[in-house]
Amino acid sequence: MKWRMPAETEQQDRTWMAFPSQGYSLGDTVEEHHEARSTWAAVAHAIAEFEPVTVVVDPAEREAATKYLSADIDVVETPLNDAWMRDIGPTFVLDDDGHLGAVNWVFNGWGAQGWARWDRDEKIGAFVADRAGATLIDSPLVNEGGGIQVDGRGSVLVTETVQLDPGRNPDWTKADVEAELARTLGVTNVVWLLRGLTRDSQTYGTRGHVDIVAGFAADSVLLVHDQRDPAHPDHDVSREAIELLSHATDSDGNPWTVVPVPAPETLRDDEDFVDYSYINHLVVNGAVIACAFGDPVDRDAAAVLADAYPGRRVVSVDARPLFARGGGIHCITQHQPAPAPSPRSPCTTRP
Protein backbone atom coordinates (compact mmCIF):
# COMPACT_ATOMS: atom_id res chain seq x y z
CA MET A 1 0.00 0.00 0.00
CA LYS A 2 1.33 3.44 -0.93
CA TRP A 3 0.82 6.40 1.37
CA ARG A 4 1.00 10.15 0.72
CA MET A 5 1.08 12.98 3.23
CA PRO A 6 -1.15 15.73 1.77
CA ALA A 7 -0.15 19.36 1.86
CA GLU A 8 -1.62 21.32 4.74
CA THR A 9 -3.55 23.39 2.20
CA GLU A 10 -5.64 20.38 1.13
CA GLN A 11 -9.11 19.80 2.56
CA GLN A 12 -9.18 18.82 6.23
CA ASP A 13 -11.62 16.90 8.41
CA ARG A 14 -10.52 18.36 11.74
CA THR A 15 -7.65 19.53 13.90
CA TRP A 16 -6.38 17.63 16.96
CA MET A 17 -4.94 19.31 20.03
CA ALA A 18 -3.98 18.37 23.59
CA PHE A 19 -4.85 20.37 26.71
CA PRO A 20 -2.02 21.39 29.08
CA SER A 21 -1.57 19.01 31.99
CA GLN A 22 0.60 19.11 35.09
CA GLY A 23 4.18 19.77 34.03
CA TYR A 24 6.42 22.19 32.20
CA SER A 25 3.85 23.64 29.76
CA LEU A 26 1.16 24.20 32.38
CA GLY A 27 3.59 25.85 34.77
CA ASP A 28 3.82 26.07 38.53
CA THR A 29 1.64 28.99 39.58
CA VAL A 30 -2.05 29.80 39.29
CA GLU A 31 -1.16 32.63 36.91
CA GLU A 32 0.91 30.33 34.69
CA HIS A 33 -1.89 27.75 34.66
CA HIS A 34 -4.38 30.37 33.50
CA GLU A 35 -2.03 31.71 30.85
CA ALA A 36 -1.38 28.25 29.38
CA ARG A 37 -5.00 27.13 29.41
CA SER A 38 -6.21 30.44 27.97
CA THR A 39 -3.69 30.36 25.12
CA TRP A 40 -4.35 26.74 24.13
CA ALA A 41 -8.09 27.48 24.28
CA ALA A 42 -7.72 30.63 22.16
CA VAL A 43 -6.05 28.59 19.42
CA ALA A 44 -8.74 25.90 19.63
CA HIS A 45 -11.54 28.45 19.35
CA ALA A 46 -9.88 30.23 16.44
CA ILE A 47 -9.69 26.94 14.52
CA ALA A 48 -13.22 25.89 15.47
CA GLU A 49 -14.65 28.76 13.43
CA PHE A 50 -13.44 26.93 10.31
CA GLU A 51 -13.38 23.18 11.09
CA PRO A 52 -14.03 20.71 13.94
CA VAL A 53 -11.49 20.52 16.76
CA THR A 54 -10.86 17.57 19.06
CA VAL A 55 -8.84 18.16 22.22
CA VAL A 56 -7.23 15.30 24.14
CA VAL A 57 -7.47 16.00 27.87
CA ASP A 58 -5.78 14.27 30.77
CA PRO A 59 -8.46 13.00 33.19
CA ALA A 60 -7.02 15.18 35.96
CA GLU A 61 -7.58 18.27 33.80
CA ARG A 62 -11.15 17.54 32.68
CA GLU A 63 -12.73 20.08 35.03
CA ALA A 64 -10.31 22.82 33.96
CA ALA A 65 -10.81 22.00 30.29
CA THR A 66 -14.56 22.34 30.71
CA LYS A 67 -14.07 25.88 32.03
CA TYR A 68 -11.76 27.01 29.24
CA LEU A 69 -13.14 25.17 26.18
CA SER A 70 -16.53 25.92 24.69
CA ALA A 71 -19.13 23.28 23.92
CA ASP A 72 -18.11 23.53 20.25
CA ILE A 73 -14.86 21.69 21.04
CA ASP A 74 -14.89 17.88 21.14
CA VAL A 75 -13.07 16.49 24.18
CA VAL A 76 -11.63 12.99 24.63
CA GLU A 77 -9.75 11.76 27.69
CA THR A 78 -6.50 9.86 28.07
CA PRO A 79 -3.38 10.37 30.23
CA LEU A 80 -0.89 13.00 29.00
CA ASN A 81 2.57 14.23 29.90
CA ASP A 82 2.43 17.43 27.85
CA ALA A 83 0.42 19.23 25.19
CA TRP A 84 2.42 19.41 21.94
CA MET A 85 0.07 17.49 19.64
CA ARG A 86 2.12 18.09 16.48
CA ASP A 87 4.88 16.00 18.04
CA ILE A 88 3.14 13.43 20.22
CA GLY A 89 0.25 12.80 17.81
CA PRO A 90 0.35 10.81 14.58
CA THR A 91 1.15 12.22 11.16
CA PHE A 92 -1.89 11.63 8.95
CA VAL A 93 -1.56 10.31 5.41
CA LEU A 94 -3.86 9.03 2.65
CA ASP A 95 -3.53 5.94 0.47
CA ASP A 96 -4.16 5.75 -3.28
CA ASP A 97 -7.89 5.31 -2.65
CA GLY A 98 -8.07 8.24 -0.25
CA HIS A 99 -8.30 6.14 2.92
CA LEU A 100 -6.87 7.65 6.09
CA GLY A 101 -3.65 6.38 7.62
CA ALA A 102 -1.69 7.58 10.66
CA VAL A 103 2.08 7.31 10.96
CA ASN A 104 3.01 6.44 14.54
CA TRP A 105 6.57 7.71 14.98
CA VAL A 106 8.62 6.71 17.98
CA PHE A 107 8.44 9.61 20.44
CA ASN A 108 11.18 9.89 23.08
CA GLY A 109 10.88 13.39 24.47
CA TRP A 110 12.63 15.28 21.66
CA GLY A 111 15.78 13.18 21.84
CA ALA A 112 15.47 11.85 25.40
CA GLN A 113 15.98 15.26 26.97
CA GLY A 114 16.54 15.17 30.72
CA TRP A 115 13.61 17.44 31.57
CA ALA A 116 11.09 15.59 29.40
CA ARG A 117 8.66 12.83 30.38
CA TRP A 118 7.02 10.74 27.68
CA ASP A 119 5.68 7.51 29.18
CA ARG A 120 2.14 8.73 28.43
CA ASP A 121 2.80 10.87 25.37
CA GLU A 122 4.46 7.98 23.50
CA LYS A 123 1.01 6.33 23.40
CA ILE A 124 -0.88 9.34 21.98
CA GLY A 125 -0.10 8.59 18.33
CA ALA A 126 -1.86 5.23 18.48
CA PHE A 127 -4.68 6.67 20.63
CA VAL A 128 -5.47 9.47 18.18
CA ALA A 129 -5.16 7.14 15.18
CA ASP A 130 -7.73 4.80 16.74
CA ARG A 131 -10.12 7.65 17.54
CA ALA A 132 -9.76 8.97 14.00
CA GLY A 133 -10.50 5.55 12.49
CA ALA A 134 -7.16 5.59 10.68
CA THR A 135 -4.96 2.66 9.68
CA LEU A 136 -1.99 2.67 12.05
CA ILE A 137 1.42 2.78 10.35
CA ASP A 138 4.11 2.05 12.93
CA SER A 139 7.52 3.52 12.21
CA PRO A 140 10.86 2.75 13.90
CA LEU A 141 12.03 6.32 13.22
CA VAL A 142 12.22 8.64 16.22
CA ASN A 143 10.56 11.71 14.76
CA GLU A 144 7.97 14.37 15.42
CA GLY A 145 5.44 16.15 13.25
CA GLY A 146 7.24 19.43 13.81
CA GLY A 147 10.34 17.91 12.24
CA ILE A 148 8.80 17.58 8.77
CA GLN A 149 7.15 19.93 6.27
CA VAL A 150 5.70 18.55 3.01
CA ASP A 151 4.37 20.07 -0.19
CA GLY A 152 2.03 17.13 -0.86
CA ARG A 153 3.71 16.48 -4.20
CA GLY A 154 6.70 14.41 -3.16
CA SER A 155 8.96 16.82 -1.27
CA VAL A 156 9.72 17.08 2.45
CA LEU A 157 11.88 19.47 4.45
CA VAL A 158 13.86 18.11 7.41
CA THR A 159 16.87 19.18 9.51
CA GLU A 160 20.05 17.25 10.18
CA THR A 161 19.84 18.12 13.87
CA VAL A 162 16.51 16.30 14.30
CA GLN A 163 16.33 13.14 12.22
CA LEU A 164 20.08 12.52 12.62
CA ASP A 165 20.12 13.53 16.29
CA PRO A 166 22.20 11.04 18.35
CA GLY A 167 19.48 11.21 21.00
CA ARG A 168 16.89 10.16 18.45
CA ASN A 169 18.37 7.97 15.73
CA PRO A 170 22.06 7.40 16.53
CA ASP A 171 22.58 4.63 13.98
CA TRP A 172 20.57 6.06 11.08
CA THR A 173 22.08 7.53 7.93
CA LYS A 174 20.48 10.07 5.62
CA ALA A 175 19.67 7.21 3.24
CA ASP A 176 17.94 5.31 6.07
CA VAL A 177 15.84 8.33 6.99
CA GLU A 178 14.93 9.05 3.38
CA ALA A 179 13.84 5.46 2.79
CA GLU A 180 11.57 5.54 5.85
CA LEU A 181 10.07 8.90 4.89
CA ALA A 182 9.40 7.51 1.41
CA ARG A 183 7.64 4.47 2.91
CA THR A 184 5.51 6.41 5.37
CA LEU A 185 4.91 9.77 3.66
CA GLY A 186 5.31 8.90 -0.01
CA VAL A 187 8.05 11.48 -0.55
CA THR A 188 10.76 11.14 -3.18
CA ASN A 189 12.61 14.42 -2.61
CA VAL A 190 14.09 15.05 0.85
CA VAL A 191 15.61 18.50 1.36
CA TRP A 192 17.97 18.68 4.35
CA LEU A 193 18.43 21.93 6.23
CA LEU A 194 21.50 22.02 8.44
CA ARG A 195 19.80 23.22 11.62
CA GLY A 196 16.88 24.99 13.23
CA LEU A 197 16.62 28.28 15.12
CA THR A 198 18.99 29.07 17.97
CA ARG A 199 16.56 29.17 20.93
CA ASP A 200 14.93 25.96 19.70
CA SER A 201 18.34 24.28 19.91
CA GLN A 202 18.80 25.15 23.59
CA THR A 203 17.70 23.32 26.73
CA TYR A 204 13.93 23.41 26.32
CA GLY A 205 13.86 23.28 22.53
CA THR A 206 13.37 20.48 20.03
CA ARG A 207 16.94 20.58 18.69
CA GLY A 208 15.89 22.11 15.41
CA HIS A 209 12.33 21.55 14.20
CA VAL A 210 11.83 22.69 10.63
CA ASP A 211 8.28 24.01 11.15
CA ILE A 212 9.67 27.14 12.73
CA VAL A 213 12.16 27.71 9.89
CA ALA A 214 10.41 26.99 6.60
CA GLY A 215 7.14 25.68 5.22
CA PHE A 216 5.16 25.25 2.02
CA ALA A 217 2.28 27.50 1.01
CA ALA A 218 0.10 27.54 -2.08
CA ASP A 219 1.33 27.42 -5.69
CA SER A 220 4.91 26.23 -5.07
CA VAL A 221 5.60 29.04 -2.61
CA LEU A 222 8.14 28.24 0.09
CA LEU A 223 8.05 30.49 3.15
CA VAL A 224 11.30 30.96 5.09
CA HIS A 225 11.98 32.66 8.41
CA ASP A 226 14.00 35.83 7.80
CA GLN A 227 15.82 37.27 10.80
CA ARG A 228 17.12 40.54 9.37
CA ASP A 229 18.90 41.89 12.44
CA PRO A 230 22.58 40.88 12.53
CA ALA A 231 22.52 41.18 16.32
CA HIS A 232 20.36 38.06 16.54
CA PRO A 233 22.11 34.67 16.13
CA ASP A 234 19.31 33.51 13.82
CA HIS A 235 20.47 36.05 11.25
CA ASP A 236 23.07 33.52 10.10
CA VAL A 237 20.59 30.65 10.31
CA SER A 238 18.15 32.54 8.07
CA ARG A 239 20.79 33.44 5.51
CA GLU A 240 21.89 29.81 5.39
CA ALA A 241 18.35 28.45 4.98
CA ILE A 242 17.31 31.00 2.35
CA GLU A 243 20.45 30.31 0.33
CA LEU A 244 20.00 26.54 0.48
CA LEU A 245 16.30 26.60 -0.38
CA SER A 246 16.80 29.10 -3.20
CA HIS A 247 18.91 26.46 -4.94
CA ALA A 248 16.73 23.48 -4.04
CA THR A 249 14.08 22.01 -6.34
CA ASP A 250 10.83 20.10 -5.98
CA SER A 251 10.35 16.44 -6.93
CA ASP A 252 10.01 17.43 -10.60
CA GLY A 253 13.22 19.44 -10.58
CA ASN A 254 11.49 22.83 -10.53
CA PRO A 255 12.59 25.63 -8.18
CA TRP A 256 10.25 26.93 -5.52
CA THR A 257 9.33 30.58 -5.15
CA VAL A 258 11.14 31.38 -1.91
CA VAL A 259 9.41 34.10 0.12
CA PRO A 260 11.33 35.41 3.15
CA VAL A 261 8.96 36.15 6.05
CA PRO A 262 10.36 38.86 8.33
CA ALA A 263 11.02 37.96 11.93
CA PRO A 264 9.53 40.19 14.63
CA GLU A 265 11.54 43.20 15.76
CA THR A 266 11.59 41.73 19.27
CA LEU A 267 14.99 40.13 19.78
CA ARG A 268 15.00 38.99 23.40
CA ASP A 269 12.74 38.05 26.29
CA ASP A 270 13.68 37.74 29.96
CA GLU A 271 15.81 34.67 29.28
CA ASP A 272 17.61 34.97 25.95
CA PHE A 273 17.24 35.64 22.25
CA VAL A 274 13.73 34.61 21.17
CA ASP A 275 12.82 32.24 18.37
CA TYR A 276 9.58 34.06 17.51
CA SER A 277 8.59 32.97 14.02
CA TYR A 278 5.56 33.57 11.81
CA ILE A 279 6.39 30.35 9.94
CA ASN A 280 4.85 28.36 12.80
CA HIS A 281 1.27 28.92 11.66
CA LEU A 282 -1.52 26.43 10.99
CA VAL A 283 -3.45 26.19 7.72
CA VAL A 284 -7.10 25.14 8.10
CA ASN A 285 -10.11 25.12 5.80
CA GLY A 286 -10.52 28.69 4.65
CA ALA A 287 -8.03 30.26 7.04
CA VAL A 288 -4.53 30.56 8.40
CA ILE A 289 -4.16 30.62 12.18
CA ALA A 290 -1.10 32.84 12.59
CA CYS A 291 1.23 33.72 15.44
CA ALA A 292 1.24 37.25 16.80
CA PHE A 293 3.78 38.67 19.21
CA GLY A 294 2.54 42.15 20.05
CA ASP A 295 5.19 43.32 17.61
CA PRO A 296 5.19 46.00 14.86
CA VAL A 297 5.93 43.29 12.28
CA ASP A 298 2.75 41.31 13.13
CA ARG A 299 0.71 43.21 10.55
CA ASP A 300 3.35 42.90 7.80
CA ALA A 301 3.75 39.16 8.40
CA ALA A 302 -0.01 38.63 8.29
CA ALA A 303 -0.06 40.39 4.90
CA VAL A 304 2.69 38.08 3.61
CA LEU A 305 0.69 35.05 4.76
CA ALA A 306 -2.49 36.40 3.13
CA ASP A 307 -0.64 36.71 -0.19
CA ALA A 308 0.86 33.23 0.19
CA TYR A 309 -2.52 31.63 0.89
CA PRO A 310 -4.98 33.39 -1.43
CA GLY A 311 -8.61 32.96 -0.49
CA ARG A 312 -7.90 32.23 3.18
CA ARG A 313 -8.52 34.56 6.10
CA VAL A 314 -5.55 35.20 8.37
CA VAL A 315 -6.52 34.97 12.06
CA SER A 316 -3.77 35.95 14.49
CA VAL A 317 -3.45 34.67 18.06
CA ASP A 318 -0.93 35.92 20.62
CA ALA A 319 1.64 33.13 20.65
CA ARG A 320 4.10 34.57 23.18
CA PRO A 321 2.92 32.24 25.98
CA LEU A 322 3.46 29.28 23.63
CA PHE A 323 6.96 30.31 22.60
CA ALA A 324 7.86 30.92 26.23
CA ARG A 325 7.08 27.24 26.75
CA GLY A 326 9.00 26.03 23.71
CA GLY A 327 6.74 26.13 20.64
CA GLY A 328 4.04 27.83 18.62
CA ILE A 329 0.62 27.36 17.06
CA HIS A 330 1.74 24.70 14.58
CA CYS A 331 3.41 22.82 17.45
CA ILE A 332 0.22 22.42 19.50
CA THR A 333 -1.98 21.31 16.60
CA GLN A 334 -2.19 18.34 14.24
CA HIS A 335 -4.37 18.53 11.14
CA GLN A 336 -6.31 15.50 9.87
CA PRO A 337 -6.83 15.51 6.09
CA ALA A 338 -10.20 14.70 4.61
CA PRO A 339 -10.43 11.37 2.80
CA ALA A 340 -10.65 11.68 -0.95
CA PRO A 341 -14.10 11.21 -2.52
CA SER A 342 -14.67 7.75 -3.93
CA PRO A 343 -14.25 7.64 -7.72
CA ARG A 344 -17.41 5.51 -7.79
CA SER A 345 -19.44 8.38 -6.33
CA PRO A 346 -19.17 11.25 -8.83
CA CYS A 347 -21.93 13.15 -7.06
CA THR A 348 -19.85 13.39 -3.88
CA THR A 349 -17.78 16.55 -4.04
CA ARG A 350 -15.92 18.70 -1.57
CA PRO A 351 -15.57 22.47 -1.70
Q: Do residues 55 and 17 touch, judged by C-beta distance below 8 A? A: yes
Query: Strand order in 282-284's β-sheet?
Result: 282-284, 287-292, 313-318
Alpha carbon of 225 to those of 91, 148, 189, 213, 266: distances in Å?
23, 15, 21, 5, 14
Q: Backbone dihedral region of 333: left (phi > 0), alpha (psi from -120 to 50 degrees) or beta?
A: beta
Quote the percentage of the chain above a pLDDT of 90.
95
Average pLDDT of the segment spanning 245-256: 97
Distance between CA atoms of residues 244 and 188, nearest Å = 18
Q: What angle do CA 224, 230, 236 make, to 5 degrees?
A: 50
Distance between CA atoms of residues 277 and 289, nearest Å = 13
pLDDT for position 24:
85
pLDDT for position 218:
85
Distance between CA atoms of residues 138 and 340, nearest Å = 22
Average pLDDT of the segment spanning 268-272: 95
Q: What is the pLDDT of residues 144-154, one digit of tens each?
A: 999 999 999 99
Distance between CA atoms of residues 334 and 251, nearest Å = 25
Q: Do residues 80 and 107 touch, judged by C-beta distance below 8 A? A: no
- What DSSP line would sit under 235-300, residue for residue? HHHHHHHHHHHHT-B-TTSPBPEEEEEEPPS--B-SSSB----TT--EEETTEEEEEE-S-TTHHH
Would you say residue 226 has pLDDT above 70?
Answer: yes
Which residues form the catalytic set?
A: 331
Q: What is the pLDDT of residues 100-122, one digit of tens each?
A: 999 999 999 999 999 999 999 99
Distance between CA atoms of residues 178 and 72, nearest Å = 40
Q: What is the pLDDT of residues 71-107, one digit of tens each?
A: 999 999 999 999 999 999 999 999 999 999 999 999 9
pLDDT for position 95:
97
Would you say residue 253 has pLDDT above 50?
Answer: yes
Strands 214-216 and 135-142: unpaired
Would you say residue 280 has pLDDT above 50?
Answer: yes
Q: Model confidence at 23, in pLDDT bands (50, 70, 90)?
A: confident
Q: Model confidence at 342, in pLDDT bands (50, 70, 90)?
A: low
Distance between CA atoms of residues 199 and 123, nearest Å = 28
Query: Strand order in 257-262's β-sheet?
Result: 214-216, 221-226, 257-262
Q: 202 — phi, psi (to 5°)?
A: -95, -165
Q: Do residues 299 and 291 touch, judged by C-beta distance below 8 A? A: no
Q: Where do the domains of the chain lie, and which CATH numbers do they carry?
A: 3-337 (3.75.10.10)
Beta strands in the chain (DSSP E): 3-4, 12-18, 53-57, 74-77, 91-95, 100-106, 135-142, 149-150, 155-159, 189-193, 214-216, 221-226, 257-262, 282-284, 287-292, 313-318, 333-337
Closest CA to 149 of 250, 74, 243, 51: 250
Would you say residue 215 has pLDDT above 90?
Answer: yes
pTM, 2 dp: 0.96
Quote the percentage of the chain above a pLDDT of 70.
97
pLDDT for position 344:
46
Q: Model confidence at 330, in pLDDT bands (50, 70, 90)?
A: very high
What average pLDDT does the chain have?
Answer: 95
Q: What is the CA radius of gyration of the chain?
A: 19
Q: Do residues 258 and 240 touch, judged by C-beta distance below 8 A? A: no
